[in-house]
């Protein structure tokens, strides 16, 4: 049940962030992420590692999406705080994504090829929906080329994020009498 709640809360964060950006608002995703984090901390034993992971992926994601913006692969609606860098709502998505890695995305743990395939397909799909359904982003130049670049980037970043999640994951401690 916690896995399903984790997935739903991330999806709500995604819709709040992307939908808000499509309407020129940067804060709805941040507000929803705050609720997601509060729920996560209250319901997850390993929340400290997950919050560290969220902070790390927020920084990594900011860098990756800023590089994609600078390379002309895509641009963002609501480009706050700077037009030359990934916006707040994208960083929110990275932090929310991090909170799924040891939970609703845990099925990819130890499966780097599946994680790469998931990133290859899921990453561009998320940007395509953000651009074509919510008007929160747009592709630079050729849409197909942008989607291919996004797929390749996410094919690398998803297994890397899963490996990072494994490193920050709290170890499961067995009670002394159960050995």
DSSP string, 41-96: HHH-TTHHHHHHHHHHHHHHHHHHHHHHHHTTSEEESS--S-TTS--HHHHHHHHH
pLDDT along the chain (179 residues), means of 10: 96 98 96 98 93 98 97 91 93 98 96 98 98 96 95 98 92 54
Which residues neighbour 84 within 8 Å (Cβ) at sequence distance 6 or greater?
66, 69, 70
The 8-class DSSP code of residue 179 comes to -
Cis peptide before 81 (omega within 30 of 0): yes
Cα distance between residue 113 and residue 118, in whole Å? 9
* pLDDT for residue 176: 59
Cα distance between residue 132 and residue 142, in whole Å? 14
* pLDDT for residue 171: 61
């Amino acid at each position: 049940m916690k896995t399903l709640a984790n997935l739903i809360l991330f999806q709500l964060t995604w819709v709040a962030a992307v939908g808000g950006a499509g309407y020129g608002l940067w804060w709805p995703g941040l507000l929803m992420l705050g609720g997601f984090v509060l729920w996560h901390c209250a319901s997850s034993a390993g929340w400290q590692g997950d919050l560290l992971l969220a902070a790390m992926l927020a920084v990594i994601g900011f860098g990756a999406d800023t590089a994609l913006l600078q390379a002309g692969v895509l641009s963002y609606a609501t480009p706050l705080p700077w037009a030359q860098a990934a916006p707040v709502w994208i960083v929110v998505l990275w932090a929310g994504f991090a909170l799924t890695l040891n939970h609703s995305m845990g099925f990819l743990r130890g499966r780097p090829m599946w994680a790469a395939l998931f990133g290859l397909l899921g990453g561009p799909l998320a940007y395509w929906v953000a651009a074509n359904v919510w008007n929160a982003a747009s592709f630079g130049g050729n849409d197909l080329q942008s989607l291919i670049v996004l797929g390749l980037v996410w094919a690398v970043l998803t297994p890397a994020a899963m490996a990072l999640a494994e490193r920050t994951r709290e170890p499961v401690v067995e009670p002394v009498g159960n050995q």
